[in-house]
Amino acid sequence: MMSANSPVRNLASVGRALEPRRFPMRTRRAGANQTRLPTKTNVGCSRSLTASPARRAAAADVSRSVRLACLHAAPASLRVPSAGALKSSLLCPNPRCRTPAGTMYPVTPDCRPDRDRDTLIARMRRIARLIAIMCALVAASPATAAAYSAGHDAATVTLRVVRCKTEFGVPPGRINLPSHLSIRGVPGSTSHLVAYSNTSTYLIAPANLDCAGLVGADGSSSLVVWPHGQREPREHSSGSGLSLFLIPACVGCKATTTCPYFATFRAYAHQVGLPCPEHPPSGERVRYLTEHLVGFVDPSFVAGVGWPSGHMLSASGLIGIEPGLAEVVFTSTCTLPTSSHASCTDSADAERSLYG
């Protein structure tokens, strides 16, 4: 529900209120410098302005063009202002006019809602073009590819499931693993990958790789896959591979993993005396995709959160906290040659769909 001083409340009265003949006028007694001010009417921008049908049509056209441009050019994480927000910002450009309801300011040129309609429409179109250009630049930048946002070709894909050799902290009993896994909201190119599983989680990666898994007694889970003929990669070892780690219960483990990226578990870490750096490793590049999801890149010879990382191949992936009361922490990493970076992007899209 909107408050009394909301900039989108009681729009219809402002245009009429600015007509001088309708203002009840009074004189403020302030010595020699007396100023005639309207009473009982707020003429600032604390009340947003009612647009004529032509203005509304123009705003809708601008909003439509901006959203279409960003739909095809920008990642899903980019937020585009709505027509109402765009219109309000154009009609009330002066922040000093955004006053609490009931206060009185003289009408100034910066706050007049009845300014020339063509000028307003021209300003809207200029801003729309600038936003569209910004969307195109963001979509074309290399950082956007590392953001792993599903594009407009998002689809539902079905992947073959590969069961990996897995160690269990507690004997699991009989487990029936599905032969296929369906994932929604990922690019169609993800269909060339397979779903490796330790019976608890799924790591989406290229086919025909070696794999190993671990499921702890507290539900913690890990999966690592790597090319044939290579040793299983470790945290900061050489070689290529992909990995996925889920931490559902161990709060200390969650804290040490996420401290450089999120404040969620920092208080606990300080309370129990765990190391809790508040910044990512030196040289690691990060981008916040949501409040609790980060995309990272560990360039060559940067030993970061990636598993593996720190040698010739760059590593990229995600680290996040799943929504919900359990606050499950997950990290996924893809460390492959440059020629296979498209597979890394598809893998990260899938992991984000499953756990992000």
Indicate the pLDDT class of residue 136, thresholds 50, 70 and 90: low
- In whole angstroms, give the CA distance from residue 223 to residue 233: 11
User: Is residue 174's pLDDT more than 50?
Assistant: yes
What is the per-residue pLDDT across 319-332, written as a single tens digit (0 to 9) for each? 999 988 999 999 99
- In whole angstroms, give the CA distance from residue 280 to residue 249: 23
- In whole angstroms, give the CA distance from residue 128 to residue 130: 5
Mean pLDDT, range 190-208, rounded to an integer: 96
Count CB neighbours of 52 within 10 A: 11
Q: What is the pLDDT of residue 288?
A: 96
Q: Are residues 121 and 242 in the same domain?
A: no
And the tokens for 198? Answer: 């330790």
Q: Are residues 270 and 344 in the same domain?
A: yes
- In whole angstroms, give the CA distance from residue 64 to residue 265: 41
Residue 157: exposure state from Cβ atoms within 10 A (0-12, 13-18, ≥19): buried
Q: Are residues 43 and 127 in the same domain?
A: yes
Q: Are residues 345 and 217 in the same domain?
A: yes
Print the domain residue range for 185: 147-355
How many domains in the chain?
A: 2
* Position with higher pLDDT, 8 vs 242: 242
Mark which of 121, 140, 159 sits at the end of a domain: 140
Q: Are residues 234 and 348 in the same domain?
A: yes
What is the per-residue pLDDT across 267-311, written as a single tens digit (0 to 9) for each? 999 999 999 999 999 999 999 999 999 999 999 999 999 999 999
Q: Are residues 195 and 174 in the same domain?
A: yes
User: Is residue 2's pLDDT more than 80?
Assistant: no
Q: Are residues 240 and 308 in the same domain?
A: yes
Residue 88: exposure state from Cβ atoms within 10 A (0-12, 13-18, ≥19): buried
Q: Are residues 342 and 233 in the same domain?
A: yes
Mark which of 95, 117, 140 sits at the end of a domain: 140
121-130, 217-226, 234-243, 326-335: least confidently modelled range: 121-130
Determine, yes or no, domain membership for 7.
no
Q: Are residues 184 and 100 in the same domain?
A: no
